[in-house]
Amino acid sequence: MVSRATAELDVPPRLLMGPGPITVDPRVLRAMSAQLVGQFDPFMTTTMNETMELYRAVFRTDNEQTFLVDGTSRAGIEAALVSLLEPGDRVLVPVFGRFGHLLQEIAARCGAEVHTVEVPWGEVFAPEAVEDAVVRVRPKLVALVQGDTSTTMCQPLAGIGEICRRHDVLLYCDATASLGGNPFEADAWGIDVATAGLQKCLGGPSGSAPVTLSPRAVEVIDARAHVEAGIRSDQDTDRGTRIASNYLDLGQIMAYWGPRRLNHHTEAGSMLYAARECARLLVAEGVDAAVARHELHGRAMLEGVRGLGLAVFGDVAHKMTNVVAVEIPDGVPGDAARNALLEDFGIEIGTSFGPLAGRVWRIGTMGYNARRDAVLTTLAALEQVLRGYGVPVTAGGGVCAAREVYA
Ligand SMILES: Cc1ncc(COP(=O)(O)O)c(C=O)c1O
C-alpha cells in the first residue's frame, strides 16, 4: 500500500478567522515561490536593504538597525532579550496576558532578575502603575507586549516610553500581534526595541521576525560584541559579557545585515521574500490606511457578534482592532462548535489560554482577512452553528449589525 505521505500536498480551503495565523495574502505566496539567489548575490543584498527600508516605514522609525530575525516571532523576542539582558540584570515585565508571561519566562532564562506587575486578564496598565514599579524596581529594561492576543487587549505605549526615557530605562515591546493593524510609533513613543511576526496583521506566514533597534539599544549590544571564531578578523575584539546564544546574537546578525555582510547564518531566502512583500503591500496601502482598515473590519465583527446576542470579553475601549474575544454561551460546547464551523464552513476561529481557555472564542479580522466578505461570511456561519446548539440568536442579527457599520 502506498503511504498517503507520498501523495501531493492537498491543503483544504480554509478561512482563518482566529487570532493568527491567518490566511496568507496570495501576493505573499507568489513572492515566496520566486527562485533563490546566492547569499551574497547583489540581488540578495539589495533585497535585504529594501526590506530594512520597508520595515522602517512599518515600525515608523529612522532606526538604521531594522531587519529580520529568521524564526517565528518568539525568535525575535528571544533575540532581543538575550542580546540586551545579562545574567543578574533587573527587568520589569508588566503582565496582562499569556504573552507577558512569555516575556517573563524568556527573561528568566536569560538569567535576569525578573520583576512583574500584573492586572487581571481583560485590562491594561495605567502609565502611573508602570512608573511606580519602575521607581521601585529600578530595572535596566521594561519588557511588555502591545497587543496580547490571549486577552485581545492593546496596551497604550506612548506614556510608557516617556516614563522609560525619564528614568533612563530601555523599553522593549512585543508587537507581534498588533503591528500593521494598530497604531505603532517606535520613534515617537520612545520604544528602543520592537519585534514582530508576519502571521497577524502583516498577512504573511509565520517564520520571520522583523526587529527594530534604537541607537541606545545598539550601544548596549555593541558593548557585548563577540564574533565567532572562524569568521572573525583582526578588527574584532571581544567586549563585555558574551551573548548566550550564537544564533540569536543581534550583534552578529546586525553585522550580517550591514555593509560588513558577516557570514553569520544563511538568510532564509523565501521568508525574506515573504517579509519584503508583506511590508511592501502595507506601505503601498499606507500604514495609516491599513490601521483604519483593521479598525473598520474589527468594529464590524465586534458589532456583528453583539448583534448575534453574544457578550464580548474585556475592556472593549482597549481592545486590539484585529481580534475580539466572545464569551461562549452557556450550554454550548466551545470546541465542538469550533469544529462544526471548520467542518461545515471551512472557517477557523480560536479559543484562548489559561483562565480564558474554553470560556471565550477569539475571532480575528486581520491582514488579508480584514475584509468585508470574510467578516460577513464568518458571522453568517457562526449564526448557523449557534442555532444548531439551540442558542436563541437573533435571525440575521450578526450580518445586519456588521452591514450597518459598513453602511
Ligand atoms: C503577542 C504575541 N507574542 C508572541 C507570539 C508568539 O509568536 P510565534 O508563535 O510566531 O513564535 C504570539 C503568537 O500568537 C503573540 O500573539
| CATH number of the CATH domain containing 335 | 3.90.1150.10
The residue whose C-alpha atom lies closest to atom 8 belonging to ligand 1 is 73
Instruction: Say yes or no: CB of residue 352 within 6 Å of ligand 1.
Output: no
Check whether residue 249 and residue 342 sit in a common domain.
Answer: no
252 located within any domain: yes
Check whether residue 117 and residue 192 sit in a common domain.
Answer: yes
Give phi and psi for 143, each to the nearest 5. Answer: -120, 120
| pLDDT one-digit tens code per residue, 238-249 | 999 999 999 999
Instruction: Say yes or no: CB of residue 98 within 6 Å of ligand 1.
Output: no
| pLDDT one-digit tens code per residue, 18-52 | 999 999 999 999 999 999 999 999 999 999 999 99
Distance in angstroms (rounded) separating the CA atoms of residues 219 and 84: 10
Output the pLDDT for position 2. 59
Check whether residue 332 and residue 243 sit in a common domain.
Answer: no
Check whether residue 174 and residue 73 sit in a common domain.
Answer: yes
- Give the distance (Å) from ligand 1 centre to CA of residue 302: 22
Instruction: Say yes or no: CB of residue 209 within 6 Å of ligand 1.
Output: no
The residue whose C-alpha atom lies closest to atom 7 belonging to ligand 1 is 73
Confidence band of 5 (pLDDT split at 50, 70, 90): confident
143 located within any domain: yes
Instruction: Say yes or no: CB of residue 149 within 6 Å of ligand 1.
Output: yes
Check whether residue 183 and residue 216 sit in a common domain.
Answer: yes
Average pLDDT over residues 352-369: 94
Q: Which of 249, 283, 317 is the last residue of a domain?
A: 283
Instruction: Say yes or no: CB of residue 197 within 6 Å of ligand 1.
Output: yes
Average pLDDT over residues 76-99: 98
Q: How far is CA 17 from CA 11, 364, 380, in A?
A: 17, 5, 13
Instruction: Say yes or no: CB of residue 148 within 6 Å of ligand 1.
Output: yes
Check whether residue 192 and residue 295 sit in a common domain.
Answer: no
Instruction: Say yes or no: CB of residue 74 within 6 Å of ligand 1.
Output: yes
350 located within any domain: yes
- Give the distance (Å) from ligand 1 centre to CA of residue 193: 16
Check whether residue 229 and residue 355 sit in a common domain.
Answer: no
20 located within any domain: no
152 located within any domain: yes
Is the Cβ–Cβ distance between 332 and 392 less than 8 Å? no
Instruction: Say yes or no: CB of residue 151 within 6 Å of ligand 1.
Output: no
SS (H, E, C) the chain: CCCHHHCCCCCCCCEECCCCCCCCCHHHHHHHCCCCCCCCCHHHHHHHHHHHHHHHHHHCCCCCEEEEEECCHHHHHHHHHHHHCCCCCEEEEEECCHHHHHHHHHHHHCCCEEEEEECCCCCCCCHHHHHHHHHHHCCCEEEEECEECCCCEECCCHHHHHHHHHCCCEEEEECCCCECCECCCCCCCCCCEEECCCCCCCCCCCCEEEEEECHHHHHHHHCCCCCCCCCCCCCCCCCCCCCCCCCCCHHHHHHHHCCCCCCCCCCCHHHHHHHHHHHHHHHHHCHHHHHHHHHHHHHHHHHHHHHCCCCECCCHHHECCCEEEEECCCCCCHHHHHHHHHHHHCEECECCCHHHCCCEEEEECCHHHCCHHHHHHHHHHHHHHHHHCCCCCCCCHHHHHHHHHHC
Distance in angstroms (rounded) separating the CA atoms of residues 89 and 138: 10
Instruction: Say yes or no: CB of residue 177 within 6 Å of ligand 1.
Output: yes
Is the Cβ–Cβ distance between 129 and 96 less than 8 Å? no
Check whether residue 294 and residue 278 sit in a common domain.
Answer: no
From the list 81, 83, 147, the residue with the least C-alpha distance to 114 is: 81
- Give the distance (Å) from ligand 1 centre to CA of residue 202: 13
Check whether residue 44 and residue 88 sit in a common domain.
Answer: yes
Cell reading at 287: 500604514
Q: Which of 283, 317, 344 is the last residue of a domain?
A: 283
Check whether residue 220 and residue 306 sit in a common domain.
Answer: no
Residue 1 has pLDDT above 80, yes or no: no
Check whether residue 258 and residue 350 sit in a common domain.
Answer: no
13 located within any domain: no
- Give the distance (Å) from ligand 1 centre to CA of residue 93: 16
Q: How far is CA 327 from the centre of its chain?
A: 23
- Give the distance (Å) from ligand 1 centre to CA of residue 172: 15
| pLDDT one-digit tens code per residue, 309-344 | 999 999 999 999 999 999 999 999 999 999 999 999
Residue 224 known to bind ligand: no
- Give the distance (Å) from ligand 1 centre to CA of residue 148: 9
Residue 357 has pLDDT above 60, yes or no: yes
Output the pLDDT for position 174. 98
1 located within any domain: no
Torsion sign, CA atoms 254, 257, 259, 262:
positive
Average pLDDT over residues 164-185: 98
CB-based contacts of 192, cutoff 8 Å, min separation 6: 164, 170, 171, 172, 213, 214, 216, 217
For 357, the domain range is 287-406
**What is the count of structural domains for the chain?**
2
Q: Which of 251, 268, 283 is the last residue of a domain?
A: 283
Place of cell 437573533: 394
Distance in angstroms (rounded) separating the CA atoms of residues 103 and 146: 12
Check whether residue 198 and residue 347 sit in a common domain.
Answer: no
Place of cell 514599579: 133
Percentage of residues in the chain having pLDDT higher than 90: 96
Instruction: Say yes or no: CB of residue 174 within 6 Å of ligand 1.
Output: yes
Residue 6 has pLDDT above 90, yes or no: no
The CATH number linked to 72 is 3.40.640.10
Is the Cβ–Cβ distance between 160 and 127 less than 8 Å? yes
| pTM of the shown model | 0.97
Instruction: Say yes or no: CB of residue 182 within 6 Å of ligand 1.
Output: no
Residue 146 CA, closest ligand 1 atom number: 1
213 located within any domain: yes
Mutate which of 104, 121, 149 to test ligand 1's pocket (most atoms within 8 Å of Cβ)?
149
